[in-house]
Copies of this chain bind each other. A is one copy, B any other.
Amino acid sequence: MALIFQKYGGTSVGSVERIQNVANKVAKFVDDGHQVVVTVSAMSGETNRLTAMANEMQAQPCKREMDVLLTTGEQVTIALLSMALQAKGYPAISYTGWQVPIQTDKVHSKARIEHIDGTKILDQLGQGKVVIVAGFQGMNPEGDISTLGRGGSDTTAVALAAALNADECQIYTDVDGVYTTDPRVVPQAKRLDQITYDEMLELASLGAKVLQIRSVEFASKYKVPLRVLSSLKEGGGTLITSEENFKESEMEKPLISGIAFSRDEAKLMILGVPDKPGVAYQILGPISDANIDIDMIIQNQGVDGTTDFTFTMSRLDAEAAKAVLQSTANHLGAREVLMDDEIVKISMVGVGMKSHAGIASTMFKTLADNEINIQMIGTTEIKISVVIGEEHLEVAVQTLHEAFGLDK
């Protein structure tokens, strides 16, 4: 008997029939002798419906009241799922965030969980019930309803799993696991049986949007084994866990786990900046002040006492960043500001690369063989990223996928 936490998102509970389907999935685990705690989101479409009404009421809806409004979404789902299970003969009980209670800080609309009291849940599990908990919501120290922000239901599930020392936390989504890359680009992409938290974090942040980053961080911090699997198809999904828990020996561990990419990139260049100490801060400070996140940074020193500075950001922020940068350029007496929003970022991710220097050279050779020019390079311990022209994306990902044997 294991203690299993499951999370079903809005699409998985998007209709009466789908909630009944979820009840069937839960029932199977109960039949197998497991204790199950289920976290659910609002039915798909519900959050948009509520938000639209709020926006008609107030241009900037009060965040406290917005939390009161939106949390009704999951409250509807927990009640319906509990009924569906009971109708099938499985005792079940639902809890809202405040009933558990899931205690958060005071930041409405993106609260952080501070404490979870698992007493009620353990008591109900002990009575043989399936416990259903509303995702995304909690209660703050003032007794107000709070919400955890985007992807909050994943966070609820993982936090509950951590607090109650779960054997596994299963996140049901509309994909059946984490793939070596996007199957729409590389049809030979393979589902990974397992992956480390660190790898998942790199893959998630690079556009493989299977899991919210925050919930992976949470799982990593509290060592909660996390499994991504489909709410519609059968299959074991992908287990996300610590490196030391990997079943295979280190020898068998692949060098590269997956290739992530992001089409949503833009590059800004400021050329001919008089080179003085502090110039990087003078360029990037105003960008940061404008709440624009930047990603990769390159500085090229010229021969004439000037320097060129290049950085990337989300394509959505590019125009705003360009305006800020132009103003900085005038101020610093730089020669020119250029923007390129026809670029993409490709990243090879794998814990195995720590000990294998050859990864980068294989990557660069593969791209060169295909006459793809590398515009920028960035590395971390478990990742190598390159920026290339967006017209090369498909060929680059396909050939890299093959070169590293990910389709085997």
Contacts and interface: CB of A to CB of B under 8 A. Distances in A.
Q: Which of A50, A65, A80, A98 has the most CB of B within 10 A?
A: A65
A65 B83 contact: yes
Interface stretch (A71-79, A219-227, A266-274, A306-314): A71-79
Contact of A94 (B50, B58, B68, B80): B68
A93 B71 CA distance: 16
Contacts of A65: 79-80, 82-83, 86, 94
A16 interface: yes
Given A80-B69, A96-B68, A62 B75 contact: no
A368 interface: no
A61 interface: yes
A87 interface: yes
Q: Is the interface of A mostly helix, strand, loop or mixed?
A: helix
Contact of A87 (B57, B75, B79, B93): B57
A58 to B, nearest CB: 4
A64 B95 CA distance: 11
Contacts of A69: 75-76, 79-80
Nearest to A17: B56
Q: Which of A62, A84, A94, A145 has the most CB of B within 10 A?
A: A62
A97 to B, nearest CB: 12
Given A75-B75, A76-B72, A79-B69, A53 B16 contact: yes
A145 B99 CA distance: 9
A150 B144 CA distance: 27
A68 B57 contact: no
B84 A57 contact: yes
20 contacts: A16-B53, A20-B57, A53-B76, A57-B80, A58-B83, A58-B84, A58-B86, A61-B83, A62-B86, A65-B94, A66-B79, A66-B83, A68-B75, A68-B79, A68-B82, A68-B94, A68-B96, A69-B75, A72-B72, A75-B75
